Amino acid sequence: MPQRQIPRTATEMLAAFAAGELSPVEVTAAALERIEEANGTLNAYCLVDGAQAMAQAAESEARWRSGHVSGLLDGVPASVKDVFLTEGWPTLRGSYTVEEDGPWDEDSPPTARLRENGAVLLGKTSTPELAWKGVTDSPRGGVTTNPWNPALTAGGSSGGSAAAVASGMGPISLGTDSGGSARIPAAFCGIPALKPTFGQIPLFPESPFGQLAHAGPMAQSVDDLALILDVLSLPDARDPSAMPSPPGSYREAVRRDVRGIVAAFSPDLGYVDVDPEIAEIVAAAVNAVGNAGLLIEYDSPDITDPIEDYEVLLDAGLAKWLEALPAERTGRLDEGLRAAWERGKSLSALRFLEADERRVWLGSTMGTFHERYDILFTPTVAIPPFEAGTEVPPGGGYARWPNWSQFGYPFNMTQQPAATVPVGFTSAGLPVGLQIVGPRHSDDLVLAVCKLVESVLPWHERQPAQPAGH
C-alpha cells in the first residue's frame, strides 16, 4: 500500500486531521524519520525525544477521534530553539556555561503555549552559544548547515530552527530574534519568519539582550506564522513587558486585503552594501508586489547605521550574563563570544545609556517614517549564505557578524514587527528573502502583506533536495 503524502504546513496538517485523512501519529513518525535521515548532515537538532513525541501524537490522535481537540495546534509536530525552558529537557544554549543536571521543571511562556495547544514537541534546535551571533555553531553543539548546500551556514542564531523547518524536520519551530536571529536564517534557508512587536510574545526568563529580544515563529508558510502567533500571543503573568492579547485573530487578519496601501522600498537603507544579485532579485519582487496592488515608492528612513550602539547593547547584555558565572564555567567559550564579553566589561554605564538613547531615537524616527508609509520593504540579508562554521564570509572584509546583517538589528532597536518571505534564488541556487517592516503593533498588517507577497511569489513551495544521512 503506498505511503500517504504528508502535508508540508501545519495548516494543511490540521485540515487533514479534521477531515480524518491523516493522523498526528503519521505526521510525527514522518518528521522523526526525516530527522533520522537529515540531522546528521544539517545538525538542526541538538536534542530529539522520539518516544515522548510519539506518545504525545498518540494522545492527540485519540483527542481528534473523540472530537475533543486541545487547542489550535493539536497534533502538529514542533521544535523549540534551545534557549527556551522546556520541562523535562535541558536548556543548554549551546554552552558549557550551563550545567546539564537542572532541574528542568518549567516551561518558558512560548513552550507552555505550544504544549497547552496540543503541539507535539519533537526536540530542541541548535543555537550558537547563548544565541549571540548571526550564524549557528557552538563549542557544545557544533556547526549547523544549510539545507540548500550543507557546506554553507544556515544563518543564526535560530539556524537550527530554520534548517529543521526548511528540510522537513517538522513544519513549525520557535526561534528568537535579537538582531535578525530569526529573519537571517529564515532568509538563508528559504522559509518565512516573523519577529513580532516587542512584548507581543511573552518571555521568561528575560533574555540577556533585554529589549532587543523577541521570540518569533518560523514555519513553512505565512498562514502558519499567523496560526502560531495566535498561540504565542496568549498572556503569561511572568513577563511584565508583555502586551495584552490583541483582539481578533491573526489567522483572519492574514487574509486582509492590503491592495492600495503605501509601501516604501529602500534597497539599502541608505548605507548597506548589497550583493548585486540579491539587490536585483529583491527589486524584481517588490515590482511584482506593486503590480499586484501595493503603491510602492522608493524611499529610505532618515537614519544612519546604528551598529556601534547596537553592539554596545549586545555586548553589555553578554557581559551581564557571563559575569554572574563562576570562572570555572567560562573556560570553554566561543572565542568571538569571549571577545564580546571583554568589550562588554569595558563599557561604562554612561555609554550604555547613550546607546539606549539612540535606540529610543531610532524608534521615534521610524514612527514618523511610518506616518507616511504603511510598510517598509528591504532585502532581509545583504549577502547570500557563506561557509559554515565561520562568523563572517572568509575574505569578505567583515569584522563581526553585525557588519553583514545591517538590515536586521535596527528593527530590534526600534522594536517593530519585521518579517521575511522567500522571493527568489541566486544563480547558485540559494534562497533570497524580502523583509517586510511595519510600525509597532502592526503585526496583523505585516502578516497580511507577507501573505500577498507569498501569493504573488510562491517560492516557499520550492524545497531543498534531501541531504544524505549520517
Q: What is the set of active-site residues?
A: 81, 157, 181
The residues near 40 (Cβ < 8 Å, ≥ 6 apart) are 469, 470
Return d(Cα 251, Cα 448) in angstroms, integer. Answer: 10
Q: How far is CA 281 from the centre of its chain?
A: 22
Find out whether 309 and 274 touch, Cβ atoms under 8 Å. Answer: no
Cis check for the bond before 103: say yes or no (omega within 30 of 0): yes
What separation, in Å, do the N-terminal and C-terminal C-alpha atoms of the chain show? Answer: 28
Q: Confirm if 388 and 153 have CB atoms less than 8 A apart.
A: yes
At 411, which amino acid appears?
F
Respond yes or no on whether the N-terminal peptide bond of residue 167 is cis (omega within 30° of 0). Answer: no
Sign of CA dihedral 394, 399, 403, 409: positive
With residue 463 as reference, give the H or E element that holds it: none
Grid cell in block for residue 467: 541531504
Give kind and range of the element (H or E) at residue 419: strand 418-425
